[in-house]
Structure 1
């Protein structure tokens, strides 16, 4: 998956799971749980949404790697 496609998929998934998050808050180093204030249920829904829309399954052991917007984009780029 190309980086641009991955970034669009992440932005779309975040807007579905957390519609209150402003697009301006989606800078690369933004931490999903702390900066975007996603609780654990929102985070799990985000991972499920990403899996459904991109076909990339993110196992629990890889959650630390996808803790930021850029981390999630890079993960999708490397696995998609």
Structure 2
């Protein structure tokens, strides 16, 4: 998966968890949880949605990398689906 595809999947996954969020203003290094006001369950749903949509296995130790757009894109573009 290239970086553009990864960014699109991340934004689509966030939109499923936080309908109505303005993702166009989300910067690459802004933490999702604070910026989009995600609680722990929202973040878990985001991670699960991301895994389902990409087919990439996401383990608990991977979640710290998935807190920003750039972190997610880097993780997904380097992962083997």
TM-score exceeds 0.5: yes
Give the structure 1 partner of residue 22 of structure 2: 22
Superposed structure 1 runs of 4+ greater than 3 Å apart = none
Instruction: Quote the offset at 1:57 in angstroms.
Output: 1.8
Matched, 1:4 2:1: no
| 1:25 and 1:36 in contact (8 A); partners too | no
Give the structure 1 partner of residue 60 of structure 2: 60
Whole-Å separation in 2 of the counterparts to 1:57 and 1:47: 10
Structure 2 unpaired stretches of 5+: none
How many residues of Structure 1 are paired with residues of Structure 2 in the alignment?
80
Whole-Å separation in 1 of the counterparts to 2:3 and 2:10: 10
Identify the range of structure 1 (4-13 vs 55-64) with the bigger mean alpha-carbon deviation.
55-64
Structure 1 unpaired stretches of 5+: none
RMSD: 1.1
Give the structure 2 partner of residue 40 of structure 1: 40
